[in-house]
Amino acid sequence: MKKILLAYNPISGSATFKKNLDELIEKFQRRNILLTIYRTRAVDSLEEFSEIVKISGAEGVIAAGGDGTLSRVVNWLKKSEINLPVGIIGSGTSNDFATHLEIDAEKYFDAIAENKIRPVDLGLVNGEKFFINVASAGVFTSIAHEVNHKQKNSLGKFAYYIHGLGEIPNFKTVPLNIRADSQNFEMDAFLFLVLNSPAVAGLKKISDAVKIDDGKLDFFALKKCNPRNLINLAQKILSGKFIDDDENILHVQAKTFEINCVENLISDIDGEIGFNLPLKIETIPRAINFFVDK
C-alpha cells in the first residue's frame, strides 16, 4: 500500500476543506493509498514536520490549501533535505500554481497512485526561502496582507480586487535597481513580479513565455505610467491577454536577479510576507518533483 502525507490548512479559502476529509480518505483508499493527516497551524515546527514525514513512511506529500500552504510544505521539504514528490489540492483563496497545473481531481488521484511526476524549478530568495510561484513587491502586493481572513473566506480572490480598487488613489511608484544576470535596469515602477509560473493573482496566464521547468525565472515590472495606460493594461490582463509586449511592462528572463530600492519595501513570497528589499533571487532548476495528471 502506498503511503502519502496530507498536510492541510484548516483556515484556507472558505475553511470547508476539513468537512471533506472523509470523502478524500475514501478516494485514496480506493486507490490503495494510506493517508497520514497533518493539520498545519499558525506556527509550525520544521523539525516536527520532518519527524512526521519520516515516521509516516510517506512516499509523497500533498498540500491542501492555497499557494501559501504549498509554499510552506515545499520549504519544509527542501530545508529538511527530504526528496519526495509533492501534490496539491487547491482549497485556498488563491490557488495559482494548482490552476497552472490544470489539475483534474479524479485524474489527479490516479496520477498520484501511479506516481506520475514532473520536475519543476523553484525560486530561492536571499538564500533562505524557496518559492513555487511568485516573489513580488509594490503597490498591489501589500493588499494580500491587508485583507483579513473573514473577507477572504466570504469573497475569495475578489476580496483582493475590491480592496485594490479602494487603494487606486494612493498608488505610487518606487525607484528600482535591477540586475538580471549581466543586465542592469533602473526604473520607477508600481510593482514587480518574479514568476515561476504564468498564473498569478487569480489570473490563469499573464504570459506565454513563463515556464515552470526552463531553468529561468521571469521578471515583470509595471512601469510608471498615466492612469489611462494603467486602466488599459488592467483591462488587457483581466480579458486574458498576454502582457509580454506591453509598452508599460518590463519583462526580463534570467537565472538570477538582484533587486534593490532606496525606499523601504517589503516583498511578498507566494502570498506570505517576505523580506525587505534588497532581494537576491536565484533559480534552482528542476529542484522538486510534482505529481501531475498530464
Give the pLDDT confidence of 205-263 residue by residue, as tens digits. Answer: 899 999 999 999 999 999 998 878 877 887 888 777 888 888 999 999 999 999 999 99
Q: Which of 53, 86, 121 is the last residue of a domain?
A: 121
Task: State the DSSP code for 17.
Answer: G
Are 213 and 119 in contact, with CB atoms under 8 Å apart? Answer: yes
Q: What is the reported pLDDT for 188?
A: 95
Using CA atoms, how far apart are residues 270 and 209, in angstroms rounded to an integer?
20
Q: Which of 76, 91, 121 is the last residue of a domain?
A: 121
Q: Which domain holds residue 281?
A: 129-285
Residue 13 lies inside a defined structural domain of this protein: yes
Do 93 and 150 lie in one domain? The reply is no
Mean of pLDDT values over 152-170: 45
* Percentage of the residues of the chain whose pLDDT score is greater than 90: 57
CATH of the domain at 203: 2.60.200.40
Residues in the chain: 294
Q: What is the reported pLDDT for 260?
A: 97
Decide if pLDDT at 283 tops 90.
yes
pLDDT class of 143 with cuts at 50, 70, 90 = low
Do 80 and 140 lie in one domain? The reply is no
pLDDT in tens, 4-55: 999 988 876 556 677 788 889 999 999 999 999 998 876 667 888 899 999 9
Do 91 and 165 lie in one domain? The reply is no
CATH of the domain at 65: 3.40.50.10330
Q: What is the reported pLDDT for 2?
A: 94
Residue from 167, 169, 147, 168 nearest 158 by CA: 147
Q: Is 50 exposed, middle or buried (0-12, 13-18, 19+ CB in 10 A)?
A: middle
Q: Which residues make Cβ contacts (< 8 Å) with residue 31, sequence separation at least 6?
A: 2, 109, 110, 112, 113
pLDDT in tens, 86-96: 999 877 667 88
Residue 293 lies inside a defined structural domain of this protein: no
Do 103 and 247 lie in one domain? The reply is no
Do 141 and 244 lie in one domain? The reply is yes
Q: φ and ψ at 116, to 5 degrees?
A: -80, 115
- Rounded to two decimals, the pTM is 0.88
Average pLDDT, the chain: 86
Do 36 and 153 lie in one domain? The reply is no
Do 271 and 138 lie in one domain? The reply is yes
Decide if pLDDT at 166 tops 50.
no
Residue 294 lies inside a defined structural domain of this protein: no
Residue 84 lies inside a defined structural domain of this protein: yes
Residue from 223, 169, 166, 163 nearest 192 by CA: 223
* Percentage of the residues of the chain whose pLDDT score is greater than 70: 85
Q: Which helix (H) or strand (E) segment is 97 a member of?
A: helix 96-101
Q: Which of 121, 143, 170 is the last residue of a domain?
A: 121
Using CA atoms, how far apart are residues 183 and 292, in angstroms rounded to an integer?
35
Give the number of domains in the chain. Answer: 2
Higher pLDDT, 15 or 189: 189
Residue 75 lies inside a defined structural domain of this protein: yes
Q: What is the reported pLDDT for 115?
A: 94
Residue 292 lies inside a defined structural domain of this protein: no
